[in-house]
Amino acid sequence: MAAVLIAASAPAQAAPLDDLRALVEAGRAAEAYATFCADPDVSARPREFDLWCGVAAVDLGRAGEGVLALERYVLQFPDDSRARLELARAYFYAGDNVRAREEFEAVAKEGPPPEVQAGIDRYLAALQAREGRYRTRTTAYVETGAGYDSNANAGVAQADIGLPVLGPVTVADVGVRKGSAFGWLGAAGRVDHPVAPGWSVNGSGYANGTFYADASEFNLAGFGAALGGSYVAGGNLYALSYAHSEILLEGSRFRWTDGLGFEWRRQVSEQTSFALIPQYARLAYSGENAARDADLYALSAAYRRVWLMPWHPVLNAAVFYGDEHNRENRGDLGRTLYGGAADVTVSPSSFWALNAGFGYVESHYQAPIPLLEVTRRDRNLTLSLSALYLIDARWSVRGEYQYAHNASSLELYEYSRHVGAVKLRYAFK
């Protein structure tokens, strides 16, 4: 009789368990949790439910509850690699970096399938970034690539245009759109070093170059370095930094910038953060462009949201306002600017990350242009798409596309631009 009862009860338990798993794997964590996991008396449900109830809790932002459920399951089924992996993920979102690393590395030693290993590598990389708060962390990369720019000089579409006062004019060849293939080289590195609980200092540097095949007079090189420090207390991060950067045009110094920035970032929840970033930058130009020298004051507000569901969407959004005050009393070259940007990243698999974004900047110049007696106003829109493929823990390849359109009150400053590129990166870890 007992055997008959056991046999009869097995399908009854299996069906709800299968339903729970199906809901979680379909990204319906809220429904799964409300239907099967909301009862606080966890002893009343079979231990097998703890796996999927734990995953659902983590996906809903209840990482602490998820950890407890998954720990109960792993105690009963210690050889279940999937459960160990989900427990590592729960530790990660609960902020337990040490246990998260232990579990991820333990699963990695078992030789999981390539897609699972790629996912582990991404979590380990994120853990390495966190660990910079309490251990010295060094990261660096080099990359190379190639692409095509439909408007390397951001020139007008045709030479014959109309301007106020002057009427029809012909733009010099250097100001007319030039398309060209290009090569790309880049490198960057960063060191984070903790000096006391919650306190750390950091330094970083970068260098890159764009080399045009058919428009070499517009070859660009850029390099820069930054020093800073940060303090973390509770859910708040405070950071202060100094940065210097330079742009070279055809090998000659074109512009250099020295800036100070402060950041306050608030971790609102395990999945959401908000930041305020005031900045100051001193812009200087060489030669006849020195008339553009300016002081830039800006304030940005940023928002980040992570969804723990299939494809793991991540939203970044920001708005900003700035005043670029010309130091040479050229109001026609100074401006106020404001705008915003947003992008969404999704990961359809552990190997892939897809990103789509847009940006908008509106510039209001502060005085009429001499001779033309017109005050310039620009509206700049950018749209971008990219796809990243992780070859392994160190190598990745990325495809990028960007469209830019600048609308202006003066036809001389209007342009459109399409840029596409493929880049190969090697990360030092």
Joined tokens for residue 84: 């160990």
Helices (H), 60-176: 63-76, 81-94, 97-108, 114-131
Q: What integer pLDDT is reported at residue 166 of this predicted model?
A: 84
Splitting the chain (429 residues) into consecutive groups of 10 residues, what average pLDDT does each group show? 33 67 86 86 80 90 89 89 91 89 89 84 84 83 98 90 86 91 98 91 97 95 97 92 97 96 92 96 96 98 90 95 97 97 94 97 96 93 97 94 97 96 95
**Euclidean distance between CA atoms 111 and 393, whole angstroms:** 14
pLDDT tens-place string over residues 412-422? 999 999 999 99
Joined tokens for residue 397: 């390849």
Strands 236-249 and 252-267: antiparallel
**Euclidean distance between CA atoms 156 and 411, whole angstroms:** 8
Count each helix (H run) and each strand (E run) in the chain, helices first.
7, 16
Q: What integer pLDDT is reported at residue 334 of this predicted model?
A: 96
Task: Decide: 100 and 123 in contact? Cβ < 8 Å.
Answer: yes
Provide the whole-model pTM: 0.80
Domains of the chain and any CATH numbers = 12-131 (1.25.40.10), 144-428 (2.40.160.60)
**Euclidean distance between CA atoms 308 and 66, whole angstroms:** 13
Q: What integer pLDDT is reported at residue 15 of this predicted model?
A: 66
pLDDT tens-place string over residues 252-298? 999 999 999 999 999 998 789 999 999 999 999 999 999 999 999 99
**Euclidean distance between CA atoms 419 and 399, whole angstroms:** 11
Report DSSP state, residue 370: T
Q: What integer pLDDT is reported at residue 9 of this predicted model?
A: 34
**Euclidean distance between CA atoms 114 and 117, whole angstroms:** 5
Question: What sign for the dihedral angle of Cα 120, 124, 125, 126?
Answer: positive
**Euclidean distance between CA atoms 144 and 122, whole angstroms:** 22
Task: Decide: 391 and 158 in contact? Cβ < 8 Å.
Answer: no
**What burial letters (b/e) apply to 246-277, b meaning 16+ CB within 10 Å?**
bebeeeeebbbeebebebebebeebbebebeb
Task: Decide: 124 and 98 in contact? Cβ < 8 Å.
Answer: no
DSSP result, 310-358: TT--EEEEEEEEEEEEETTS-TTT-EEEEEEEEEEEE-SSSSEEEEEEE
